[in-house]
Amino acid sequence: MRPNPRHILISSMVAVTGALAVFSGFAVISNLSTLQSSAATEQIPQNGPSSAFSGFKPGAQITYKIVPLDHETEAATGQAAIPEDGALALDMPLAAPESKKPPAAIAYDFSVQDGEDALDLLLRINRDSGHFSVSGRGATPFSELSIKGPSGSIKTKADWAGLFEEGGIAPPGALESRSGSFEIAFYNAHVMNDSSRVSPAIIKVLTAPGGGGLGSGGVNQYTLTFCGSPPLSVCDTASLDQHIQNIVDNYVIALIFMTEQLSAVMMQQIPPIGKFFDAKQQLETQRKFQELNAEAVKTYHPSEQMCRIGSYIRSLPTAEEKAHLNKMAINEALMEAYNKTGSRSTAEGYYTDVNARLKQFREVYCDPQDNNHGLRDLCQHDPSDRVVRSGETIGATDKHRMNKDIDYSRTVEFPYTLDLDFEDTTKTNEEEDILALARNLYWPKNFDPIQEKQVPEHSNEYIKLRHITALSNLAHNSYATIAGMKARVPDPPPGVEPGWAYMKTLLREFGLSDADIETLVGENPSYYAQMDILTKKIYQNPDFYTNLYDKPTNVKRIGVSLSAIDLMQARDHYEAALRREMLFSAMVEAELAVWQEKTHAELEDLSAAGQAQ
């Protein structure tokens, strides 16, 4: 009888499946349906699911119960104990239903008993939909559970009573994985511990409809269940072996060669791919170096503008310190004149002071043309000779210094730099002019000298004298500060280029000659002159604004430098405001002093009248 082609095709597919399984190197759990004729039915025993336990205490008792939920298959039960190595594997056979169709839903009920501690687990699996659910009790309160299905995993936690439940779980691809392994891991940790660092206890269930367990049973096997009359084609073993041989010769060997060829071609493609990766890495590295180089140039390359500002302020701290020292020297000179101390002209009283000041006025500051030529006689250098002869010197010897002892504008305000240096023993014209103007502004007349024994009898008058002296010191403080700020700076050490030398270079860009620059700011510009250039003159140069077209980092640095200069200027304004506030307070006190004395006198009169009554 000629074999049925359909039967031959079925047997060929079976052989190919087994051959490919062996060739590919994978262990395939075959779940081939039992072949049988349509005229006879026979119940065939099948292998059931398996389970594995790990991480439990040796000696713990395991009780399981497998309940098919289709009510057609009998439940399977059993017991076992955890061995000494802590790992247990169980085969849990099920009797095959008469319909030979595996149950669609199965419930696995496990109970682990260790003394008084018990862990109960119920796993429900629906093969048709791929859903499964887990519930139970006996876990450590608040401990973590990891549930893994065929296509994914989830994590949950037990509650305070050790109960846990997760239902309706269907990982992605569940419908394509209706059989496989289900693993539940119990992390034995309480709520205060890191559960990821504790070894878990694991219950693993392996399901395979129709056969397949933890052993080799059912692997790459098929069963001829019935060979009746008429016989099936698979019953002709000689014909079946020939078909298998043909499949191996025509398909399996060809697939082997094809696999070898594909592997060789893929290996030949690996070097070009590696070269592409190397080239990509090399180009990215070169680009990164270029980016870092450009970033370094942009960030760390200083600008000309920044260097200019740094050079300008090189000598500014020295100028500021010099201004402070000259202010103290002017203040001390005026205080000695007030208090008639030292070698001042006031040391012997008002008479000697007036004679010294008149002599200075005639020879240094007197202008004969003042007061409609009325000072001609007073400006004679020898006042005892009343006859003015032709060619006789009358008035100031240096015409440029006439009236500088009373002219604040020419003496202090207009010059940017004054030749003041009270640290040396050389007297300059500017030093004499500054002190002469201060004597005329703040203390034109001296008090008569007082003997030490007279102080107790005139204590009130002496206290008032000291009070007036203090107010005078407060009044001339601003004058001394301004004069000190305009004092020339000392010469720099040999080989050192001072900051004001670069400032003069800036002024040359304005078209000024060196003579004009020295006339404007002096040979050694003062602190006042240098601050004027830093806060005004540099902004009058167009190059300042064109140099701002620079790298962003340099522009920020220039902004910080300008903020520092602005802070220095704000400090000078703040100190000037403090001096102005002290002057206002002294003026208010002087105004109130009259009313204070008047009130004090009235109170004394009332007190005397009361005592008389």
Quick count: other Cβ atoms within 10 Å of Cβ 481?
Answer: 20
Residue-wise pLDDT for 197-238, tens only, equals 456 888 888 765 444 443 434 433 444 444 444 444 445 556
| C-alpha separations of 339 from 439, 473, 577 in Å | 13, 11, 28
Residue-wise pLDDT for 426-457, tens only, equals 889 999 999 999 988 987 777 766 777 877 88
Q: What does R_g of the chain's alpha carbons equal in angstroms?
A: 57
Residue-wise pLDDT for 33-76, tens only, equals 222 223 333 333 344 567 888 888 888 899 988 888 766 667 78
DSSP string, 317-337: HHHHHHHHHHHHHHHHHHHHH
pTM, whole model, 2 decimals? 0.51
CA-angle at 244, arms to 243 and 248, nearest 5°? 115
Q: Tell me, what DSSP letter sits at residue 363?
A: I
Report the SS3 class of residue 556. helix
- Residue 422 CA to residue 526 CA, distance in Å, equals 14
Residue-wise pLDDT for 301-354, tens only, equals 888 888 888 889 888 999 999 999 999 999 988 888 887 776 777 767 777 888
- Residue 50 CA to residue 204 CA, distance in Å, equals 8
Q: Return the pLDDT at 71.
A: 63
- How many whole angstroms from its chain centre is CA 477? 47
- Residue 38 CA to residue 257 CA, distance in Å, equals 41
Contact present, 4 and 233 (Cβ < 8 Å): yes
User: In sequence order, what are the residues at sequence separation of 6 or more whose Cβ sits closer than 8 angstroms to the Cβ of residue 601?
Assistant: none
| C-alpha separations of 45 from 76, 125, 213, 221, 453 in Å | 14, 22, 14, 14, 140
* Residues of the chain where predicted confidence (pLDDT) is lower than 70: 1-49, 70-73, 93-103, 151, 170-180, 188-199, 207-240, 342, 347, 383-393, 448-449, 613
